[in-house]
Structure 1
Amino acid sequence: MTREQDRRRPVGLGLRAWVTTKLVRRVLRFLAWSRLVRVTVIDRDAVPVRGPVLVASNHISMLDAVFLWGALRRRAMAVAMAELWTWPVVGVLVRGLGHIPVIRRDPDSGRAALEQAEWVLRHGGVLIIYPEGRCVRPGEVEPYKPGVAKLALRTGVPIVPVGTTGTNDVLPLGGADGRGRIDRTRPVTIRFGPPIDPAGFDSPEALLTHLRERIEELRG
């Protein structure tokens, strides 16, 4: 990271991102209020109202990011698959909101993403990260990638664990009901847990193990 970049505020903390966040979240919350989607958010106040924080969740559907990002009260940036930047409409949104692209199985891209993520945290931002690194189908187990733990230990930023359930019923991997349709009648729950202080851990491995245990507890 260059000194010039370090002085600049991340795009996601700028005025345009603030306005976009407000507008999109109003739409998402209207959908929840009107019961067009059935979502329950529990203990969102676990996310500090100010200061840098990492938000880490399990990943079971392409809709996870929409529900989790929409559940937050603060602006947030996410580390997300680079393919989203090529999608119509979605690509415009992820750029404007300052999300961070990462090419899967590309070590150079991974390092660049972590550098940008640290930049966000150094400026007091909220960063969403999925430690599994990809959507995980029911019955599968994916090892957690060490990036979230390394970021927390390097910066001293707490991690708020999140258990997400139900999004894979609304939109399973490969498309709902095999025809690509979303089943909005299925309930979704986003449950936040108390922040984890990285100072209590002496290695990324120990922190990752604890984080996975907390997320699994929150999933029920």
Structure 2
Amino acid sequence: MYAVLHTVVPPVAKAIWRPTVTGLENIPRSGGVLIASNHLSFADSLVIPIVSPRKVHFLAKSDYFTGHGIKGRLQKAWFEGMGMLPVDRDDPKAALGSLDTALEVLGRGDAFGLYPEGTRSRDGRLYRGRTGVAHLALTAGVPVVPVGISGTDRLQPIDARFPKVVPISVAFGAPIQVAGRYDGVAPGKARRQITDEIMTAIQALSGQEEAGVYNDRAPDA
């Protein structure tokens, strides 16, 4: 399904929205890699796979995979075809399960996308990164490619039924290597330093104002 959708969806989407994409050469063409992006809209998890030269897996609500009837089957096929992986957000153990899923993806040499802010920004500012991204990078020994997205918050606002044609830009930064750099550093300190380095790179790519605090809004998309 992935091959079928990616033969059709990216060319059509690019023809309609004409996204400005830079830094594609920074994405390793093989091997496990984390794609760490700012988060402005649900559409981010579709835009990145559409413009990326390789398949990028993101997590999506399990509800999208459990619908009934023709609509449910089509929705499931769409999300699976776009590389999405289901996560049950109502499960108290979902966070741990998400980490396990990410490590499985990285372990087989694939790309895994995530948002260090945790949930999308409603005011356009860049919130402080949570250290799960660093934990994954250190555990899997993979590089992190920072990403700065802009325009997706206007692509399909919450009250809009259909996506709008608006300028979108996606900038992929130079890979941040972590393997071997933090040997002998306390784990907590290493995770914090790596996460801050990633968020600094994302801010440079997105140009967002830094909030300086965590985004504690409940995920809604």
Q: State the TM-score, normalized to the length of structure 1.
A: 0.79
Q: Relative to structure 2, which stretch is displaced further, 99-108 or 77-86?
A: 99-108
- Answering whether residue 118 of structure 2 is matched by residue 133 of structure 1, we say yes
- Asked whether the 8 Å contact 1:100–1:113 carries over to 2, the reply is no
Q: Relative to structure 2, which stretch is displaced further, 207-216 or 194-203?
A: 194-203
- Asked whether the 8 Å contact 1:60–1:168 carries over to 2, the reply is yes
Q: What amino acid maps onto 1:208 in structure 2?
A: T
| In structure 2, C-alpha distance between the alignment counterparts of 1:83 and 1:124, rounded to whole Å | 27
Aligned residues: 195
- Answering whether residue 103 of structure 2 is matched by residue 118 of structure 1, we say yes
CA-based RMSD of the aligned residues comes to: 2.1
| In structure 1, C-alpha distance between the alignment counterparts of 2:135 and 2:22, rounded to whole Å | 27
Secondary structure of the 1:198 match is coil
Q: Deviations over 1:83-110 (max 9, x none)?
A: 3334533323334565333344754111
Displacement of 1:59 in angstroms is 0.9
Q: Which position in structure 2 is the counterpart of 1:10?
A: none
Give unpaired runs (5+ residues) of structure 1: 1-19
Which one of the candidate residues 156, 172, 177 is aligned to 1:192?
A: 172
Q: Which position in structure 2 is the counterpart of 1:207?
A: 194
Q: Which position in structure 2 is the counterpart of 1:181?
A: 162
Q: Percent identity?
A: 32
- Answering whether residue 89 of structure 2 is matched by residue 108 of structure 1, we say no
| In structure 2, C-alpha distance between the alignment counterparts of 1:211 and 1:113, rounded to whole Å | 20
Q: Which position in structure 1 is the counterpart of 2:219?
A: none
Secondary structure of the 2:99 match is helix
Q: What amino acid maps onto 2:104 in structure 1?
A: W
- Asked whether the 8 Å contact 2:5–2:81 carries over to 1, the reply is no
- Asked whether the 8 Å contact 1:38–1:188 carries over to 2, the reply is yes
Which one of the candidate residues 63, 73, 84 is aligned to 2:43?
A: 63
Displacement of 1:43 in angstroms is 1.2
Cα 1:142/1:107, change in 2 over 3 Å: farther
Cα 1:45/1:31, change in 2 over 3 Å: same
Cα 1:69/1:205, change in 2 over 3 Å: same
Q: Which position in structure 2 is the counterpart of 1:5?
A: none
| In structure 1, C-alpha distance between the alignment counterparts of 2:49 and 2:151, rounded to whole Å | 16
- Asked whether the 8 Å contact 1:170–1:183 carries over to 2, the reply is yes
Q: What amino acid maps onto 1:46 in structure 2?
A: N
| In structure 1, C-alpha distance between the alignment counterparts of 2:14 and 2:126, rounded to whole Å | 34
Q: Which position in structure 2 is the counterpart of 1:4?
A: none
| In structure 1, C-alpha distance between the alignment counterparts of 2:77 and 2:136, rounded to whole Å | 27
| In structure 1, C-alpha distance between the alignment counterparts of 2:192 and 2:63, rounded to whole Å | 29
Q: How does 1:1-220 map to 2 (within 5 A)?
A: 20-34=1-15, 36-86=16-66, 88=72, 89-95=74-80, 99-104=84-89, 106-140=91-125, 142-172=127-157, 174-176=158-160, 180-184=161-165, 186-199=166-179, 200-201=181-182, 202=185, 203-220=190-207
Displacement of 1:140 in angstroms is 5.0
